[in-house]
Structure 1
């Protein structure tokens, strides 16, 4: 796209109210929230998930999210937060609507694991694996093997692949025709919980919640 064409698009979006400008730079305006508001208000999955996520937080004082796949990224469409946790970590992606690189998150890998083999190959062509931390997987063959393992066991543990000091566990949420439509995960500081605790105590809660969501969507 040429600079002139890009500027025309920006000026049009400013005229429509979706951008603001100081004369040199353009910024998103609050009007863009209408798009996310329409989705959150009309979609069934966020409405169904929210009270169940809140219940999990009340039970465990940990942070939970429901995420869906959109191209390269996993998007948070519902989330909870442990309001009384003084040492709470605030990892990327815990804000509603945040977008995270799918290959470096537990929920994202769950969603990728349930694509077909051809879809996974095409995804890697379009979105080459990028290193975010020293723990991020960037080898295609190893990544595809990991996705196969995740699909077989139906859960994913991820540690410090997107943010140091943070680990997570995710499970799939099935919709109609036994198709995975989202993932539910728990995110926690590595200083607060161990891998063993997440898998032995929190994973069963996630699996129960995913089944509950499936029954009502």
Structure 2
């Protein structure tokens, strides 16, 4: 935490308004933005108008939506951050060897964020683009990253949390979910089948630096046409583990 004198509330409120836009609500008016950002309607309106004036939002006079200018933030991160640049060659190599798609992911609160990805001979799974945010509880990478937390930190993450059901196969019972995370800790990998999206199967392993800290996760995503559990255990898991060892000195 920083000192109160160093905290600029206006920036925090403006970012809260920007973060109010998502796939569920792509267009917001002042009332909706206020509800989502925890602001008064008047404050939300001022922030919306300011962000529109700066070019980060577009508006028809009543509703606001994100403009392409917001991509400057993600573009700058992907161009300058070390992690995506380090991992991209390894993902490219994996994708060149199989028809599957591969992603590198970091944890951000309740979600995981794709920071690098690669695919070879077929279209990458829908929604798995750079910068995509996926619910941590229902994804292989999210579970791997949650399992990397200390038990105290994981319990704090779980405290009072309801796990949204995304498909009929999503684990939402908190006891079952905690047991699942315990299993991931022991196995050091995770398979999630059709829990985030029907027809999508994923296998993930953690990426650790030389100090043993998990800094990210990589996964492979398959469709029902290419998913073969026995083949994944025999071939794909060793490939991901080899990739994790390969990049460890670079993390």
The TM-score by the shorter chain falls in which range?
Answer: over 0.9
In 1: Cα distance, 2:163 partner to 2:203 partner? 20
Q: Which residue of 1 aligns with 2:19?
A: none
Deviation of the 1:35 alpha carbon: 1.0
1:181 aligns with 2:219: no
Aligned Cα RMSD in Å?
A: 1.4
Q: Which residue of 1 aligns with 2:59?
A: 21
User: What is the TM-score with the length of structure 1 in the denominator?
Assistant: 0.93
How does 1:1-217 map onto structure 2 within 5 Å?
1-82=39-120, 84-85=121-122, 88=123, 90-92=125-127, 94-125=128-159, 127-217=161-251
CA contact (8 A) 2:208 2:248 kept: yes
Deviation of the 1:61 alpha carbon: 1.7
| SS of aligned partner of 2:159 | helix
Deviation of the 1:127 alpha carbon: 4.1
Larger Rg: 2
Ranges in structure 1 where 5+ consecutive residues have no aligned partner:
none
CA contact (8 A) 1:89 1:188 kept: no
1:77-117 alpha-carbon deviations (Å, 9 max, x no partner): 000122x32xx46233x100000000000000000011111
Ranges in structure 2 where 5+ consecutive residues have no aligned partner:
1-38
- Greater RCO between the two (CA within 8 Å, min separation 6)? 1
CA distance 1:36–1:20, change in 2 (3 Å): same
Give the number of aligned pairs.
213
1:130-185 alpha-carbon deviations (Å, 9 max, x no partner): 11111111111111111111011110011000000110100000025211010000
In 1: Cα distance, 2:161 partner to 2:86 partner? 31
In 2: Cα distance, 1:172 partner to 1:126 partner? 26
